[in-house]
Amino acid sequence: MMAKMVSLTIDGKHVEVPEGTLVVNAAKKVGVDIPVFCYHPKMEPVGMCRMCLVEIGRPMIDRATGQPLREEDGSLKIQFGPKLETACTTPVSEGMVVLGATEKAKAGREDNLEFLQTSHPLDCLICDKGGECPLQNLTMGFGPGESRYLYDEKKHLAKHVPLGELIYLDRERCIQCGRCVRFQDLIAADPVIGFSQRGRSLQIVTYSEPGFDSYWSGNTTDICPVGALTTTDFRFRARPWELRAAASICNHCPVGCNLTLNVRREAVSGGKWVVKRVMPRQNEAVNEIWICDKGRLGYHFGRQNAERLKKPLVRKNGELQSATWEEALELVAERFQGVGSGLITLASGRLSNEDLFNLGKLTQSLGGRSLLYTSMAGGDLTTQIGFAPGTNFADMGKESAILVVGSDLEEEAPLWWLRVRQAAKRGATLIVLNARNTKLDRDAHYSLRFPFGMAAAAVLALVNALSPKRPELPESIQELARSNELKGAAKAFAEAKDAVILFGSDGMGLAETQALAQACANLLLTTDHFGRPNNGLLGVWPRANDQGAWELGWQPSMNLPADLAQAQALYIVAADPVSDDPAYLNAFDGQKFVVVQDLYLSQTARLADVVFPAQSWMEREGSYTSGERRVQRYYPALQPIAALPPRVESPGTRRAPLLTGLRAELDGPQADFAIPAYLAEKLGFEGFAHASASLVFARLAAETPSFSGLTYQKLAEVHEQWPIVGRADMYYGGTAYENTQGLGAQLALAQNGASLLSWPQAADFKLPKLGGIAFPITRLYDRGATLMHSQLLHKRIGEPYIVLGEQEANRLKISQGGFVRLTFTESQQSVVVQVKVDKNLPERVVLAPRSFGLPVSGPTPVELKSAG
Amino acid sequence: MLAEKYAQEIQTILAKYPPDQRRSAVMPLLYLAQRDKMYVNREDMAEIAEILGITPTEVASIVGFYSLYYEEQKGKYHIQVCTDLPCALRGADRFMQELCARLNIRPGETTADGLITVEPVMCLAACDKAPMFQVQSGAGLSYYENQTVESALALIEQLRLDAARKRGRDSHV
Amino acid sequence: MSKEKLPYFLLRHREIPDLDNLEVYRRNGGFQAFEKAVTQMEPTAVTEVVKASGLRGRGGAGFPTGLKWSFIDNKNWPHYVVANADESEPGTFKDREIMEGNPYQFLEGVAICAYAVQANAAYIYLRGEFWDLAARLDQHIAALEAAGLLGENLFGTKYSLRIYTHLGAGAYICGEETALLESLEGKLGQPRLRPPFPPSYGLYGKPTIVNNVETLTNVPLIIEKGADWYRSMGTEKSPGVKIFSLSGCINKPGNYELPLGTTFRELIFEHGGGIPQGRNIKAIMAAGASSSLIVADERALDTPMDYESVPSVGAQLGSASVIVIDDSVSIPWLIDKTTHFFRHESCGKCTPCREGTFWMSHLTERIANGRARREDVELLYDVASQIRGKCLCALGEFSIEAVLSGIERFRSDFDVAVGEIQVAAQVEQVPASD
């Protein structure tokens, strides 16, 4: 239903906005800036800072007739209140007259600014916020010329207060607007910072361990209207006005948060461009104006550090030695020729659409197999009944149902957690169906638990409650299936106008996620929730472009170790299987020809015959397809590493430095899409582009039905978004960047739903009477090769550990922080590892975080012994 | 552990509020935590947070905002003299200064034996009976009205005797 | 106005010994009004009687009590009643005497209010310093439960009620009703945005009536004796009796229960016994530290103390906490006391109050200690004016009343303080402490 429209005037401009709109936002819509500090368009108003004071008049009503009174000239008679009113807390009303530029209103602002300045230090010259500071800007605009407050009566407070090792607080600069505290409470649901004391002594504190314990902490530095909160990553590193901005996309998870990489040239780095910080870039259909701390602080792997591979390496006399591109490409082309089906190209969703397209095409031309390196299946279904174009979490509310199954969503895809939670707050029915408790349960209407190992069966139980064609249910799920809670959830899901399912890989490997995806597909098909906006299946993939890989036809092997072992040649790109599971070592027996293409000399690369150095995502162009099937471009922020000085075109303000054209002689790391194209050239294959990502994308779009019609120009299109952020008035939305380089485009769905209704295998699964089962889980702060380059996060990442239930820990006589010896029943390999205790876990369950060096790719039998 | 020591009291406190509004119990639980030591330490805050399902930071915010909670140890007994306007018009400021002088401390300080802290406080709703003060100890708060420096010193002497007796008893346990 | 002494209606314990014993209270008609309400009256009828009585809130704002009750949102349940026993205004000590001496009449008032708005739970929010008092109230509540006057199915009806005490912990701001509700919810005692008001969005977001202790203590007698009886006392627009807390430079400080409309002169010179040591009265603060300073001239002394008349001398009746100032008191010293109070008690939520009270306290301290110049007095006046009309709640707005009226009406005291007029200091002037 459309909201009733209300018309009013603001500083003489006529405005028509929906009923309930706040005056401050109505003003914003017609380009009138009313200054604010505490108000933020993403949060409910609190009216604390009193900065937005305006004069407000309302039509006078004749009490007898109920009709508005009129002046002699026929215009409405307007009555102004005696006091100024706060524009941020006052909703519009019909005929309202708002005056924000009168002497009285301006005096009110000046008064408030003078009050704020009595406490605020005059350290703009050394403040990280200087140059993008709302207080600085507003004081210049509205403030008094000089202070009547005696300098020596200023309150002096601590200026370097670590709220943990990621965020610093300057107590003098804080103006007590409470934006950070409210953000953490209302949006991040981590109320780990708060106000202590009162009056002028009011100050921000944290008592969490570690300090400011939240994945969202960096956002508070964006919305802080002064330089009180800064990230350790950026603090004292550069001044905002020195920075150029390059549009980018985060590649840590499948959400695809829009980023801006802030770069500058530095003498200390030999005059090169260097990334100084990562900022959120607005995309209201993806990440709004937020990013998680992993996205903000976990970019360091893409920088040009000493460990990066700079030249190709070729094994000579048993050792990897530097070689020219010509030499390395020749060698690989020669060895790949004629291998045919003996070639396996193994690549991960860390790569762009363009990279995967060229790699796949090369492999196909050679007659080999392309395999996606992933721990999660089901992409064959999301390409068909995934999110349809026009789907947006922001549009989900009372008429929607959201089922999250087999996923610890905040850990796996933080922004989706945030947006699903907000949809639930708007009234969407949220069903959380997991083996264990997660943070999302706090906001769930139905919080359902299935026995470990029974995810697919649990979804089938939902189908069973609804469908006349009832799938058979295994015994262990019967109790849940009979529960009223589950029946209620099934009914709510079926009856919702729109419904989506997010499925993840919590506790599951490839086989289990394949079954789960199949079960989810059945639920969506049974309830007719697919093929239209705000309906469909969403995979919470482990990597940024897994969905893109599936769309381009990449699929995982259901038995990768065996496949690798049998191959004659391997081309491994952006994957490091040996680090993940030592079992893969068997495949590298020295008999086969192995090529690895990566940023660093990984454990796998050390075993290769040829290593190609790749460019990081910040050094090149490309596109990712998010889990929501949105194709989004990223732009180069840095000059690639190269021995020759690059031809630099002077970049404009807030624009990326431009790439040099391709040089005749290859030098330094190359883009992942270019290297297979060079090989194709050597091999005499036609139809490969390597000169630019846009040329590759053009071919990709021409040859891939779901990408049909998409171009780089189309991906770069933008339209006006609400709230307006990132312009001169940073006090309104914060320092998140306005999106001027593209909102991306959602893919059409593949027209193929025929095979979907076959029931998945959902065999019974029971925990053993002896020993235990290790289930893989995902932690946001993992020990993967990329994140470990962000030293700042090491303390949060921590050492390898497993999680046990309280009973299990008691049985082993072990407490939090103790050590166990974990023996893998099958291989009899064992490892000593630290224990964390989660009182909600059942006995015999071991949670093993992925990437922590434990070979647990799916439910794995283990034995446990206390190791002190 | 508060949960073990005051299990019954905690139940009684929690029963006052709706089950989904346990957070309301934070202030009474803080009084409970303050009973022994006359301050609330971080462990107690963390435990209260656990009991109520909120974060330790949210508990600490309460301790910081309200002036009757203490985050650090001062005297066992806080003699809190109202020096607000109506009491001051009846000589409360002079009363406090003289009392402090006799105890050899300045307002806000604690006596050498660590027992008595004298501090000015805001209005205690006994304006007609000034000079007056309240004594805050772990056991609670009591008012002493229409006081003279001599009567206050006599009370302090009594508090010291009580404390010594209690110490003696404890050392025999 | 009749000079005949009325019997006590609120401070009845002054005439009836042991009124804090339930038996004694019941022998004197106690809980008959509550029983009558629950067994014989519709809830809305109770509200109508209170409305008709003209009873106005005794906490300071003077809002019509029955009207407030009638605002309760009946589309949203459950409802709550909260008694505001956070009595913290300097100069106010009436609620404490009621709760100590005549606790059951207060509790009966809470119960009747709860019945009128169909609340099944009521909380009494006491300031943390009323620790002993809270313990005694808990005993009284237990006695009521034992006597079947609180609990399930009262008087054989379906109506049930529980009353609980809740102690604050030292924050004046919690007397502001929305800050009180925040505090009761276990949060910082900072005021909420209003609207919505508590009768639609109160405790735990549910419709809630917040009333002052004295207000509620009036209710049993109104129900028992009727609205007309109540209107026979006081003035037309301010009916009934009021407890005036009299303090400061006065021979007989204490609480005086008098009809609204009694003059300042009668309170101060007849009941309060005049000014000590034969000194002259200089100023009056009618609403505690939140008051303007009334110049105590003949006209002011003859002004009736009711909600309509006090504004004629440039002040408000507020909670009727009358602080008497004699001619030995320096006004700069006095406002230094009040600004330090507000600086200490500002919750810090809104800028003008947080920063303004802090700044004012620096200026008053300098002025009171003779370290200021003439322009500091001007600046103080400016700063106070700058706070006006911008604050989130009344605390900040009231913090400037004494300052502005002090400078406007007692300018010569400031001239003395900044050394422009040489006069020997007359009064004990210990620097205000924080």
Residue B62 to residue C129, Cβ atoms within 8 A: no
Please spell the DSSP secondary structure of B37-71, one letter per residue: HSS--HHHHHHHHHHHTS-HHHHHHHHHHSTT--S
* The pLDDT value given to residue C420: 73
- Judged by DSSP in three states, C310 sits in helix
Measured over the CA atoms of residue A40, residue A46, residue A52 and residue A55, the dihedral's sign is positive
Selected for mutation to probe chain B from C82, C131, C293, C328 (highest B CB count within 10 Å) is C131
CATH fold for the domain made of A772-866: Barwin-like endoglucanases (2.40.40)
* Strand order, beta sheet including C162-167: C162-167, C121-126, C80-85, C208-212
* The pLDDT value given to residue A652: 41
Token output for C119: 């609340």
CATH fold for the domain made of C331-417: de novo design (two linked rop proteins) (1.20.1440)
**Percent of chain A residues past pLDDT 70, beyond the cut:** 96
At A467-512, the pLDDT tens digits run 877 888 999 999 999 999 999 999 999 999 999 999 999 999 999 9
* The pLDDT value given to residue A176: 96
The CATH number that domain C241-326 falls under is 3.10.20.600
Asked whether the predicted pLDDT for residue A147 surpasses 70, the reply is yes
In this structure, the dihedral spanned by the alpha carbons of residues A360, A361, A366 and A369, taken in order and rounded to 10 degrees, is 20
Where in chain A is CATH 3.30.70.20? 111-231
* The pLDDT value given to residue B7: 96
* The pLDDT value given to residue A683: 95
* The pLDDT value given to residue C331: 97
Asked whether the predicted pLDDT for residue A649 surpasses 80, the reply is no
| Residue A359 near residue A346, CB atoms below 8 Å | no
DSSP letter at A283 equals B
- Residue C239 to residue C226: CA distance in whole angstroms: 13
- Residue A375 to residue A857: CA distance in whole angstroms: 7
* The pLDDT value given to residue B106: 96
Measured over the CA atoms of residue C191, residue C109, residue C122 and residue C17, the dihedral's sign is positive
CB atoms within 10 A of CB A583: 17
Name residues 128-147 of chain B within 8 A of C (Cβ): 128-129, 134, 140-143
Token output for A143: 């403030």
Where in chain A is CATH 3.40.50.740? 313-374+551-625+664-709
- Residue A3 to residue A22: CA distance in whole angstroms: 14
| Mean confidence (pLDDT) of chain A | 93
Q: Does the CB of C96 have a partner CB in chain B at under 8 Å?
A: yes
At A394-441, the pLDDT tens digits run 999 999 999 999 999 999 999 999 999 999 999 999 999 999 999 999
Cα angle: A208, vertex A212, A217; to 5 degrees: 150
A379-540: CATH architecture? 3-Layer(aba) Sandwich (3.40)
Q: Is A122 exposed, middle or buried (0-12, 13-18, 19+ CB in 10 A)?
A: exposed
Half-sphere exposure for B8 (CA within 13 Å, toward CB): 0
Q: Between β-strands A830-838 and A801-805, what pairing exists: parallel, antiparallel or unpaired?
A: parallel
What are the structural domains of chain B?
A: 2-65 (1.10.10.1590), 77-172 (3.40.30.10)
Asked whether the predicted pLDDT for residue A707 surpasses 70, the reply is yes
Q: Which residue has the higher pLDDT, C272 or A132?
A: C272
- Residue A384 to residue A677: CA distance in whole angstroms: 29
Instruction: Give chain C positions within 8 Å (CB) of A50.
Output: 350-352, 390-392
Cα Rg of chain B (Å, integer)? 18
Asked whether the predicted pLDDT for residue A388 surpasses 70, the reply is yes
Q: What is the mean pLDDT of residues B103-128?
A: 95
* The pLDDT value given to residue A3: 81
- Residue A733 to residue A741: CA distance in whole angstroms: 19
| Ramachandran bin of C320, using left for φ above 0, alpha for ψ from -120 to 50, beta for the remaining angles | left
**CA C340 to each of CA A370, C332, C368, C401: distance values in angstroms, whole numbers, following the listed order:** 76, 12, 12, 14
Determine the residue type at B80. Q
List the single residue in B52, B85, B128 with the smallest CB-CB distance to C334.
B85
CATH fold for the domain made of A313-374+551-625+664-709: Rossmann fold (3.40.50)
Q: Between β-strands A498-503 and A400-405, what pairing exists: parallel, antiparallel or unpaired?
A: parallel
- Judged by DSSP in three states, A404 sits in strand
* The pLDDT value given to residue A295: 98
Residues in chain A: 868
Angle at which helix C103-116 crosses helix C43-53, to 10 degrees, equals 120
Instruction: Give chain A positions within 8 Å (CB) of B64.
Output: 195-198, 205
Asked whether the predicted pLDDT for residue A642 surpasses 80, the reply is no
- Residue A678 to residue A292: CA distance in whole angstroms: 37
Q: What is the mean pLDDT of residues C164-182?
A: 97
* The pLDDT value given to residue A467: 81
ipTM rounded to 2 decimals = 0.95
**CA B39 to each of CA A204, B70, C256: distance values in angstroms, whole numbers, following the listed order:** 21, 5, 39
Total CB pairs under 8 A between chain A and B = 41
Per-residue pLDDT band at C422 (split at 50, 70, 90): low
Pick the CATH number of A5-101 from 3.10.20.740, 3.30.450.40, 3.20.20.10, 3.40.50.300: 3.10.20.740
Where in chain C is CATH 1.20.1440.230? 331-417
Residue C352 to residue A112, Cβ atoms within 8 A: yes
Residue B64 to residue A196, Cβ atoms within 8 A: yes
Closest chain A CA to residue B67: A197
List of chains touching A (3+ CB pairs within 8 A):
B, C
Q: Does the CB of C352 have a partner CB in chain A at under 8 Å?
A: yes
- Residue A178 to residue A760: CA distance in whole angstroms: 50
- Residue A625 to residue A404: CA distance in whole angstroms: 21
* The pLDDT value given to residue B35: 86
| Residue B136 near residue B128, CB atoms below 8 Å | no
Where in chain A is CATH 2.40.40.20? 772-866
Q: What is the mean pLDDT of residues C378-394?
A: 97
Instruction: Give chain C positions within 8 Å (CB) of A84.
Output: 389-390
Closest chain B CA to residue A192: B57
| Residue C349 near residue C392, CB atoms below 8 Å | yes
> Which residues partner with C83 through β-bridges?
C124, C211
Our measurement of the distance from residue A775's CA atom to the centroid of its chain's CA atoms, rounded to an integer in Å, reads 24
Residue C348 to residue A114, Cβ atoms within 8 A: no
Residue A674: which residues within 8 A CB-CB, separation 6 or more?
A: A358, A690
Per-residue pLDDT band at B55 (split at 50, 70, 90): very high
Instruction: Give chain C positions within 8 Å (CB) of B94.
Output: 428, 430
List the single residue in A192, A196, A197 with the smallest CB-CB distance to B55.
A192
Of A717, A741, A727, A742, which Cα lies nearest the Cα of A28? Answer: A727
Residue C186 to residue B94, Cβ atoms within 8 A: no
> Which residues partner with C288 through β-bridges?
none
Looking at the complex, report in whole angstroms how far the Cα of residue A194 sits from the nearest Cα belonging to chain B: 6
Asked whether the predicted pLDDT for residue C113 surpasses 90, the reply is yes
CB atoms within 10 A of CB A441: 16
List the single residue in B45, B56, B64 with the smallest CB-CB distance to A197.
B64
- Residue A783 to residue A799: CA distance in whole angstroms: 9
At A803-847, the pLDDT tens digits run 999 999 999 999 999 999 999 999 899 999 999 999 999 999 999
> Which residues partner with C325 through β-bridges?
C283
Name residues 26-85 of chain B within 8 A of C (Cβ): 26-28, 30-31, 52, 54, 61-62, 65-69, 83-85
At A286-306, the pLDDT tens digits run 999 999 999 999 999 999 999
* The pLDDT value given to residue C424: 46
Beta strand extents in B83-132 (DSSP E only): 116-121
Instruction: Give chain C positions within 8 Å (CB) of B40.
Output: none
Per-residue pLDDT band at B172 (split at 50, 70, 90): low
Selected for mutation to probe chain C from A111, A185, A203 (highest C CB count within 10 Å) is A111
Token output for A125: 């010259």
- Residue B75 to residue B116: CA distance in whole angstroms: 5
Instruction: Give chain C positions within 8 Å (CB) of A201.
Output: 348
- Residue C33 to residue C111: CA distance in whole angstroms: 10
Instruction: Give chain C positions within 8 Å (CB) of A49.
Output: 350-351
Measured over the CA atoms of residue A34, residue A37, residue A43 and residue A44, the dihedral's sign is negative
Asked whether the predicted pLDDT for residue A640 surpasses 90, the reply is no
| Ramachandran bin of A480, using left for φ above 0, alpha for ψ from -120 to 50, beta for the remaining angles | alpha
Where in chain C is CATH 3.10.20.600? 241-326
In this structure, the dihedral spanned by the alpha carbons of residues C251, C256, C258 and C262, taken in order and rounded to 10 degrees, is 30
Instruction: Give chain B positions within 8 Å (CB) of A198.
Output: 64-65
Pick the CATH number of A111-231 from 1.10.760.10, 3.40.640.10, 3.40.50.800, 3.30.70.20: 3.30.70.20
C12-231: CATH architecture? 3-Layer(aba) Sandwich (3.40)
Token output for C67: 């009207």
Q: Does the CB of C430 have a partner CB in chain B at under 8 Å?
A: yes
List the single residue in B16, B85, B143 with the smallest CB-CB distance to C323.
B85
Q: What is the mean pLDDT of residues C270-284?
A: 97
Residue C166 to residue B69, Cβ atoms within 8 A: no
CB atoms within 10 A of CB A14: 9
Angle at which helix C401-409 crosses helix C374-387, to 10 degrees, equals 140
CB atoms within 10 A of CB C383: 28
List the single residue in A53, A150, A199 with the smallest CB-CB distance to C354.
A199
Our measurement of the distance from residue A115's CA atom to the centroid of its chain's CA atoms, rounded to an integer in Å, reads 39
Our measurement of the distance from residue A383's CA atom to the centroid of its chain's CA atoms, rounded to an integer in Å, reads 21
